[in-house]
Amino acid sequence: MSKVGFIGLGNMGSGMAHNLVEKGIYLNVFTRSKSKMVPFVEKGAFSHKSIKSLTNDSELILACLPNVETSIEVFLGKNGILSEAKPGTIIVDHSTVDVETSKLIWEKSLDKNVYFIDAPISGGPVGANEGTLTIMCGGDSIAFEKAKPIFNKMGTTVVHMGGPGTGTSMKIVNQLLTSVNTVAAMEAAILADKYGIDLNSVIKILSKSFGGSRMVERNMPIYMKKDYENSSAPIRNIVKDLKIISEMSNQMNLDLPLTSLSLNLFEETDKLDIDEPDIASVAIYINKLSKDKEV
C-alpha cells in the first residue's frame, strides 16, 4: 500500500505512527489535537485537517482510538471514514472495542465495497514505540495479506485470527488475563513483601516458575518503586475493557467470577486520589482492604 492514513495519536497511536514514518511509509495523519501532528510532519508525514481529507488521500487507513463511541464516530459518523472511502480501500481499527462494534463496522463496509479489519493490539506504549506489538486481526484474508507488510512495521507478532470480529475477540481474551493476572501479581507482591522476601529475588524466581507471568514482570517493579501516577497504562483503560467483557459475558450467559472481582477492584482503585493511576496501583486498594480489617 503506497499511501497510508493514521487517525489517533495517543499513547499507542503515536508510537505506531512513528514506526511507520521512520520506516519510509507515505503517511497521512489526523488527530483532534493539531499540536500532536507537528512531530510527524517534521519527520515527513502529511497532516490533514479532517478525516475526509485523510481518507481521500489514503489506500489503507488505520485508526487507534480510545473507546467504542469514538470508533463508531470515526468509522461510521456523518463525516467519518466510510462516508468518503473509495471502493477497495482497506480500513483498520486497532482500538479495543466490543465484537458487536467490529462486526457493525464490517457490515457497513461491505455496503461500500470497502475492506474492514479489526486489529487490536497488545504490548503497551513500549511495544508501540519499539515496533514490537502483537496485532491480532479479524476480517477478509486477502485484505489482511495486503495490509500485513504495514502491520509488520509496527509489530513482531501479526496473526490473522479468522473472520470479522475474531481479532477483537482475541483482544478481549487477552484483556481478561491482563486484568486478573495483574490483581494476582499484586497480591503475590504484597504477600512476599509481608514475609520480608526481597522482591527482586521474587521476580527472578517467578521468571523461571509456573507462577510467573508478563504481569509479574511488568507490575512488580512498579510496586517496588511505588511509581503509580501519570501512567501510560492507566486503570481507566482496563476498567473500560473489563466493562466490555462484562457486558459480553452477560449476553452469552457466562459467569466469569475472577473478571467480575477484578473489575470491582480496579473501579475502587480508580476512586482513590491518584493522578492517572497505573494498573499496578490496584495494590494500594488491596492493602487498604487489609488495613480496614485491622480497624
Which amino acids are annotated catalytic? 171
Q: Cβ distance 277 to 269 under 8 Å?
A: yes
Angle CA(186)–CA(189)–CA(192) in degrees, nearest 5? 150
8 Å CB contact between 9 and 36: yes
C-beta of residue 266 within 8 angstroms of C-beta of residue 235 = yes
Q: Could you give the CA distance from residue 263 to residue 169 in angstroms, rounded to a whole number?
A: 18
Q: Which among 26, 7, 162, 117 is positioned nearest to 73, based on CA atoms?
A: 7
CA distance 6 to 49: 13
Calculate the CA 61 to chain-centre distance.
Answer: 17
In degrees and rounded to multiples of 5, residue 28 shows phi and psi of -95, 135
Q: How many CB atoms lie within 10 A of CB 255?
A: 8
Listing DSSP states for 184-223 in one string gives: HHHHHHHHHHHTT--HHHHHHHHTTSTT--HHHHHHHHHH
CB 68 within 8 A of CB 96: no
Give the HSE-up count for residue 113: Cα atoms under 13 Å, Cβ half-sphere.
Answer: 3
- Rounded CA-CA distance 6/12 in Å is 12
Q: Which single residue is written with the C-alpha cell 510532519?
A: 41
